Amino acid sequence: MAEPTTLKLIYDGGLASEGSLHFYEFSRASYAFARLVSTVEIFRRSGHVPQKIGSKNYVDLVIKAPEKGSFPLDIIVPIAAEAANIAAQLKGIPLDVLLKYVIHIIKGILPKSDKLALELAKVSLDMEKERTKQTKEETKRHKILKDVVESGNMTTNLALELLKESLDKKSELFNRQKNTVSELTDAKNEFEESARREADFSEVRQKLEQIDNSKLVQLTTKVRPQVEEIGLPLRRSATIMSLQVGRERPIATFDSEAIQNINDRVIDEIEAVHELRMFAYDRDAGYGKCDVTDIGVYRITFSVPVDMRGRLRKKILEAIDKDATTATVRFVRNRDKTITSAILIDVRDR
């Protein structure tokens, strides 16, 4: 019989460091954690996002008694007995991997961390310009930094490279940049966590890419408020919360700002056709910049779902050479419904 999956919910800082939490907030948070795990597992088994969880689709979760310390809670999820109990398109994807993928989509990188990494790229680019003046040759690093600064699209690998360099007190970048060591460390930890999640689901990436995009939007829309409720103890009892699989390093770590950021971004469930002017695209990261000219929205980031990048790559590169192109998108909005970015679904021939 397959071993069950053990997922950990850990609160730390404040009262949690002493093994205590405000009971009402923790009760709601633990219930939300159960709903989160059940939602993802039901989706894995059925291929459908549950409207509600009841006796017909209930997942029999078990918890371990909390340990003394930073108030961890272990939840044990039984493995579906038969492969036939797993939705066809999700076979071969373990619960913990699917959960990491979903959390990866909804968490993203905090805007302040992305901005910090871009600031480091600008400082580093200035340093490269000074070097290339002496050699009169543009280095490969100069070109990479220039592309990132001009497009505003930071890659995880470059961000980590710059952050590690900026934390080296012997480096020129450390002396030139203006952020505190604490700010740099927090940003580095966030990008490292993101890189670990990507590495963890890389082996089944092709299967994850086959998940219907509209169902994935439904799933992440369902999960966002659940994660926000799991974070309730961060109001008074704790300063950080982390989700973990077994003895692995955390899937994701949240503070109050990260929790708020999750629900500051809501994805439209309905696709719409608009006129776009595209002027930058990072083929490796799947991110670009565009204007939505027909509704007067300018300089926003667009992303391309992983499963669509190969099909759309040529169309996007051709669209960049045009003044405008017609595209199908889903908008990402903040709490007041302002458009903050777009998900590119298709590029149409004009």
Q: Tell whether 210 and 187 lie within a shared domain.
A: no
Q: How many domains does the chain have?
A: 3
Q: Tell whether 332 and 219 lie within a shared domain.
A: no
CB 59 within 8 A of CB 41: yes
Among 142, 172, 191, the domain-final residue is 191
Q: Tell whether 59 and 88 lie within a shared domain.
A: yes
Q: Tell whether 43 and 133 lie within a shared domain.
A: no
Q: Tell whether 142 and 201 lie within a shared domain.
A: no
Among 263, 287, 312, the domain-final residue is 263
0.85 surpassed by pTM: no
- According to the model, what pLDDT value does residue 84 have? 53
Domain ranges, residue 76:
5-107+193-263
Q: Tell whether 177 and 137 lie within a shared domain.
A: yes
- According to the model, what pLDDT value does residue 328 have? 94
Q: For residues 140 and 88, what is the distance between their CA atoms, to the nearest angstrom? A: 45
The residue ranges of the chain whose pLDDT is under 50 are 1, 69, 81-83
196-211 pLDDT, tens digit each:
998 888 888 888 878 8
Q: Tell whether 298 and 253 lie within a shared domain.
A: no
Domain CATH number, residue 283: 2.40.50.140
80-106 pLDDT, tens digit each:
544 456 777 788 888 889 999 999 988
Q: Tell whether 278 and 234 lie within a shared domain.
A: no
Q: Tell whether 171 and 44 lie within a shared domain.
A: no
Q: Tell whether 123 and 252 lie within a shared domain.
A: no
Q: For residues 83 and 230, what is the distance between their CA atoms, to the nearest angstrom? A: 30
Q: Tell whether 202 and 96 lie within a shared domain.
A: yes
Q: Tell whether 94 and 122 lie within a shared domain.
A: no
Q: Where are the alpha helices (DSSP H) in the chain?
A: 23-46, 95-107, 111-135, 140-151, 156-166, 172-176, 181-200, 205-209, 213-230, 256-263, 309-320
